[in-house]
């Protein structure tokens, strides 16, 4: 593993809202954090740094200098890779990482749903899966907002990789609240169901609904979740 077991080197593959927050929070406390991003995004991050802000706490705004690469050949094999791309990009990302680093790193997969459990084992033997239990959004390639600082819920479908889970959770907790669960599949499927509410609330524009319509929205949401 890159660096030491207690202080592994970390590669965040994908600089979207989730990858940026997890990597940015950790970069403040650990020098061996690198981002992989597309060339233009990488250039902006090098020039401007990464600005993170909370919409609930003005004092939480911070701009972080981050290490960024746009070629995997430019970075030695990391100990841990946080894989923060969407499911539709996952197979290609996994292949690129496997070609670059083999099966050495621990993979932390932060995708919604369970499709990643089908894709990633074809490339890696040490995969820890995560549920992201906070909201974050990108205002620009270098500015990311969030509602709260975590948590990440980590586990494996069969409760394997206990030592690796503990190492990764202790490390990630330096920057973002991270918890382990022995019932990861329950957490993953609950997140899938909860994500259904995003579609409905967006369709009905719930922020502009009159108060009289809220009981109806509550009833529809209840039926949808059930």
Residue 171 lies in a domain: yes
DSSP state of 61: E
C-alpha 123/C-alpha 193 separation (Å) is 28
Examine the domain organization and report whether 97 and 200 are in the same domain.
no
Burial class (CB in 10 A: 0-12, 13-18, 19+), 67: middle
Say whether pLDDT at 2 is over 60: no
Among candidate residues 75, 33, 71, 74, the one with its CA nearest the CA of residue 50: 33
User: Across the strands, what pairs with 13?
Assistant: 36, 83
Examine the domain organization and report whether 177 and 195 are in the same domain.
no
| Predicted pLDDT of residue 219 | 87
> How much is the mean pLDDT over the chain?
91
Residue 5 lies in a domain: no
In tens, the pLDDT along 39-97 reads 999 999 999 999 999 988 877 789 999 999 999 999 999 999 999 999 999 999 999 99
Structure token digits, residue 198? 């995003």
Among 165, 182, 199, identify where a domain stops. Answer: 182
Examine the domain organization and report whether 117 and 51 are in the same domain.
yes
Q: Which residue has the higher pLDDT, 22 or 201?
A: 22
Among candidate residues 26, 55, 66, 72, the one with its CA nearest the CA of residue 178: 26
Q: Into how many domains does the chain fold? A: 2
Examine the domain organization and report whether 25 and 70 are in the same domain.
yes
| Predicted pLDDT of residue 210 | 84
Q: Are 21 and 151 in contact (CB under 8 A)?
A: no
Examine the domain organization and report whether 152 and 222 are in the same domain.
no
Residue 7: pLDDT band (50, 70, 90) is: confident
In tens, the pLDDT along 180-203 reads 999 999 999 988 888 878 778 788
| Predicted pLDDT of residue 221 | 79
Q: pTM of the full predicted structure? A: 0.86
Residue 52 lies in a domain: yes
Examine the domain organization and report whether 102 and 208 are in the same domain.
no
Q: Tokens 């950790």 appear where?
A: 26
Q: What is the dihedral of CA 103, 164, 188, 200, to 10 degrees?
A: -80
Examine the domain organization and report whether 73 and 150 are in the same domain.
yes
Tell me the residue range of the domain where 200 lies: 183-226
């Amino acid at each position: 593993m890159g660096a030491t077991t207690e202080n592994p080197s970390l590669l965040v593959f994908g600089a979207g809202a989730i990858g940026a927050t997890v990597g940015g929070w950790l970069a403040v406390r650990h020098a061996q954090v690198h981002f992989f991003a597309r060339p233009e995004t990488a250039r902006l991050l090098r020039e401007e740094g990464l600005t993170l802000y909370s919409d609930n706490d003005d004092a939480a705004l911070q701009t972080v200098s981050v290490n960024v690469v746009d070629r995997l050949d430019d970075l030695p094999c990391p100990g841990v890779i946080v894989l923060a791309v969407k499911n539709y990009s996952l197979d290609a990302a996994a292949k690129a990482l496997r070609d670059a680093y083999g099966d050495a790193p621990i993979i932390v997969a932060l995708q919604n749903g369970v499709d990643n459990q089908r894709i990633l084992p074809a490339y890696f033997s040490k995969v820890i899966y995560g549920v992201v239990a906070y909201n974050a959004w990108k205002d620009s390639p270098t500015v990311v907002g969030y509602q709260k600082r975590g948590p990440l819920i980590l586990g494996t479908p069969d409760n394997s990789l206990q030592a690796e889970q503990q190492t990764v959770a202790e490390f990630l907790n330096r920057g973002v609240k991270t918890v382990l669960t022995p019932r990861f599949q329950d957490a993953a499927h609950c997140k899938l169901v909860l994500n259904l509410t995003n579609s409905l609330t967006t369709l009905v524009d719930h922020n502009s609904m009159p108060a009289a319509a809220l009981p109806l929205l509550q009833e529809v949401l209840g039926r949808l979740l059930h």
